[in-house]
Chain A
Amino acid sequence: MPRRTSTSTPTDIALISGFAALIAVAAILPAINVAGPVPITLQTFAVLLAGAALGAVRGFLAVLLYIAVGAAGVPIFSGGAAGLGVLSGPTAGYLFGFAFAAALCGLIVQSLPRKKIQTSVPLIFVAGLVSSALFIHTAGMAGLVFRADMTWAQAFDIDKVFWIGDVIKNVAMALVATALHRAFPDLLDRRPRRSDVEAPTPA
């Protein structure tokens, strides 16, 4: 793997696609049904990792791409579901919350000093936990309220089942993200600003 100081646009696209695929794989690996209609998988691990690994913009796009591929009919939503039906189902809120959680997690991580990104498991853990608390759980509960006829209190009762899993998955995410940034120190180097437009001339 040659050391490079900047990534090119095709590499950005490949990374976005690679993480979309990783989220898909994490979602369809054997899941555990703890309670309620939402199975627990490694999905949120991969979602927050996409943000922590690629930064806000590319992480956000990776989750959107994952949702789009699933909506197009490839069975990569948790439990092997697929299609546009899922996007109007009671668990759709969680899916859309993922995109914003990845973006926030990426925003926090990319604003940390490089040394911290490579070593500080607690900081990245907090970035993931805050992001999932702010976006995944609120959007997920909103989906349950509007599509499954629950009150906010009832949705909260279901949602809180996932909190312990969240903490564990975010610890794993922080461990893996720091290792990843040590292996690829330039992964976040080109601060991703509108990666579609900004294309450096080939070196």
Chain B
Amino acid sequence: MRQDTLLGDYRPGSTWLHRLTPGPKLFALAVIAVVLVALREPALALGALAMATMLVLWSGMGIATAVRTLRRIAIIALLLGAWLVWQHSWARAVDSVGDLAALVLFASVLTATTAVDDLLDTIVRLLQPLRPFGVNPEKVSLAFSLALRAIPTTLEIAEQTRDAAIARGLQRSPRARLTPLVIRVVANARATGEALHARGIGDD
């Protein structure tokens, strides 16, 4: 169903943005987000939007992907914008909706130019200082990749249990639709845990 999009939106390429390590990109995104949120300037929001559009073009992420990304937030943006015009002013609406669209575009440029593996490595590195507090970066990374793998599997199980419930005429029963799904999720997780344990992965 949606499995094709679940592999992430990474587009291999060789632009400057692709070669940059995830650390500086994450930092820049955080700074931009804080600045946009802190300063209530419609002009600034529009400027950020223009800059984000330039980055979209430059990163080779493609207008189609950008439009698809924006469409995902279109309803929220529209409702929020209409509501702000009604309650406050046009300026406020342009500022908030512009901020939102710009941040979503910046974030998707980061996603499009950063492989999930690189991002995982960066997360592991960033978490190193938390080791004394009981955080184990390798285990976080293991959990991350297990979750990525489990998402398509779980979607498949959800579709199978839904079909089974419909076949029994129980599509309206939450028990018939949800209980088998959740029991299979736990059973799968336990089997995965046993397999990891057998290979000595994730043990101390």
Contacts and interface: CB of A to CB of B under 8 A. Distances in A.
A129 B88 CA distance: 34
A75 B72 contact: yes
Contacts of B201: 10
Contacts of A111: none
Contacts of A176: 174-175, 178-179, 182
A89 B100 contact: yes
Interface residues of B, number: 74
Contact of B96 (A21, A42, A73, A149): A149
Interface stretch (A29-37, A93-101, A132-140, A159-167): A29-37
Nearest to A168: B174
A48 to B, nearest CB: 12
A20 B142 CA distance: 13
Contacts of A28: 2, 155
Contacts of A85: 33, 73, 100, 103-108
B108 A179 contact: no
A15 interface: yes
A46 to B, nearest CB: 9
Interface string B90-127: 00100010001001111110110010100100010000
A145 interface: no
A180 B79 contact: no
Contacts of A199: 203-204
Interface of B: 2, 5-6, 8-10, 26, 29-30, 33, 37, 72-73, 75-76, 79-80, 83-84, 87-88, 92, 96, 100, 103-108, 110-111, 114, 116, 119, 123, 134-136, 139, 142-144, 146-148, 150-151, 153-155, 158, 174-175, 178-179, 181-183, 185-190, 192-194, 196-197, 201-204
Given A29-B158, A73-B111, A85-B103, 14 more contacts: A8-B203, A10-B196, A11-B190, A14-B190, A18-B147, A75-B9, A84-B26, A84-B107, A85-B33, A85-B100, A89-B76, A176-B175, A179-B175, A194-B134
Interface of A: 1, 7-22, 24-25, 28-29, 33, 36-37, 39, 42, 45, 49, 53, 61, 65-66, 68-69, 72-76, 79-86, 88-91, 147-150, 154, 171-172, 175-176, 179-180, 183-184, 187, 194, 196-197, 199, 202
